Amino acid sequence: MKTPVVLIPGDGIGPEVTEAMREVVEAAGGRIEWEEADAGLVAVEKHGGPLPEQTLERIRHRRVALKGPCATPIGKGFRSINVRLRKALDLYASVRPVVTLPAVDVPYDRVDLIVVRENTEGLYSGLEHEVVPGIVESLRIITKKAARRIVRFAFELARNQGRRQVTFCHKADVLRLSDGLFLSEARRVARNYPFLDFQEMNVDSLCMELALDPTRFDVLVMENLFGDVLSDLCAGLVGGLGLVPGANIGKKHAVFEAVHGTAPDIAGKGLANPMALIRSAAMMLAHIGQRQAGERIEASVRRTLQAGEDLTGDLGGTGTTATLTRQLIANLSSDN
Ligand code: NAI
């Protein structure tokens, strides 16, 4: 039986990497019934807005979606699609696994961490206004409920994946009330997990420590803005945006997505690296109980990088999306 999953190809390189992903998932034995839905510029043209209600309804119905990158038209009164999607479906946890991959030229070996980011509040609550001309205020919302559930999510993830440590990242010495509340909730949740090591770190110290030695970290958890910045920083530690997968998880729904954007500079040229979306699909397969197909894909990504043939330009090669996809399919094997 196939599992229905909503597929949003998105804009720019989105349709190219989506096509590659579908081929690899099928070749890996993933049993998926894709249901395409629109978001991004394509949806503005067809439906008058970048995130149509039909698309949200489809995801509410099917519960799981895989999303390509979407462009948010700037200066036309549209709010970020990603922010809206996360709020509308209450996808409160962003999960980004950051793992060193073979043969990718980076300064660190053996990085293996997960960034967990609170997705619905903080400075991304969308509450901004002009107080008087020339002075603008953005509200940073932190609630006990959201703080508690994201820290609990991080601890549960750590427990389920056999991890040893959770690091809570904050700036409570300056943001005394908002991060003060977040920190006290984090401490409260941590008391329920005495078998896991709990660490607290200021965001600035964490950045320095990540630059010095990212291998000492395990699960990182933080509020929205810090998480946005740090998850891209961590993607850079293992080779960049073309490689790193991501998921946005809520109580009822999950949307998996590559973390890169629409790459307008290479869109339509067949040069995009599809690995990030393909690895996001592997995470999705594990989420819906098709773990084996997901593991085959991850193993193929490693073999393909190791072999170094037909890699795309972002990885220093001269391959195309199509030739790299062929390599990924050829490197799938039934025994991992
Ligand atoms: P970007 O990620 O699209 O591009 C940054 C650089 O990385 C470019 O040089 C691009 O060619 C390269 N790159 C990105 N993905 C790649 C891939 N798979 N293979 C090879 N090279 C790749 O970020 P940028 O330029 O800031 O944003 C462009 C558009 O994407 C904007 O409209 C933005 O709103 C949107 N965006 C959407 C996201 C999403 O839907 N999740 C996330 C980030 C940006």
Please provide the average confidence, as pLDDT, over all residues in the chain: 95
Coil, helix or strand at residue 97:
strand
pLDDT at position 153 = 98
Q: What are the pLDDT digits (tens) for 8-63?
A: 999 999 999 999 999 999 999 999 999 999 999 989 889 988 999 999 999 999 99
Query: Is the distance from the beta carbon of residue 95 to the nearest atom of ligand 1 less than 6 Å?
Result: no
**pTM score over 0.75:** yes
Q: Whose CA is nearest to atom 11 of ligand 1?
A: 263
Distances (CA, A) of 84 to 248, 290, 295: 12, 29, 31
Tell me what pLDDT residue 42 has.
Answer: 87
Are 292 and 29 within 8 A, CB to CB? yes
Question: The tokens of 107 are what?
Answer: 């300064």
Residue whose CA lies nearest to ligand 1 atom number 13: 263
pLDDT of 83 strictly over 70: yes
Which atom of ligand 1 approaches the CA of 257 most closely? 41
The minimum-distance atom of ligand 1 relative to the CA of 258 is 41
CA of 80 to the centre of ligand 1 (A): 14
- Please work out whether the CB of residue 279 comes within 6 Å of at least one atom of ligand 1: no
Residue 39 in contact with ligand 1 by CB distance below 6 A: no
Q: Is 265 in the pocket of ligand 1 (CB under 6 A)?
A: yes
Instruction: Determine contact, residues 3/44, Cβ cutoff 8 Å.
Output: no
Which atom in ligand 1 lies closest to the alpha carbon of residue 81?
40
- Distance, CA 265 to ligand 1 centroid (Å)? 9
In angstroms, rounded to a whole number, what is the distance separating the alpha carbons of residues 90 and 150?
A: 12
The sign of the dihedral angle between the CA atoms of 46, 52, 53, 54 is positive
Three-class DSSP category at 3: strand
Share above pLDDT 70 across residues of the chain, in percent, rounded to a whole number: 97
Locate the ligand 1 atom nearest the alpha carbon of residue 273 and give its number: 19
Q: In this predicted structure, what is the pLDDT of residue 40?
A: 92
Give mean pLDDT, residues 290-310.
96
Measuring from atom 24 of ligand 1, which residue has the nearest CA? 261
Which atom in ligand 1 lies closest to the alpha carbon of residue 72? 34
Write out pLDDT tens, residues 260-283.
Answer: 999 999 999 999 999 999 999 999
Q: Is 189 in the pocket of ligand 1 (CB under 6 A)?
A: no
CA dihedral (280, 286, 287, 288) positive or negative: positive
Q: For residues 164 and 197, is the Cβ–Cβ distance under 8 A?
A: yes
CA 230 to chain CA centroid, Å, is 12
pLDDT at 336: 55
Tell me phi and psi for residue 14, to 5 degrees.
-50, -55
pLDDT for 103: 87
Return the residue whose CA atom lies nearest to atom 12 of ligand 1. 263
Which residue's CA is minimally distant from atom 23 of ligand 1? Answer: 261
Closest among 164, 168, 166 to 185, alpha carbons compared: 168
Is the pLDDT at 190 greater than 70? The verdict is: yes
Buried b (16+ CB within 10 A) or exposed e, 194-223: eebebbebebeebbeebeeebeebbbbbbb
Highest-confidence segment of 74-78, 125-129, 305-309:
305-309
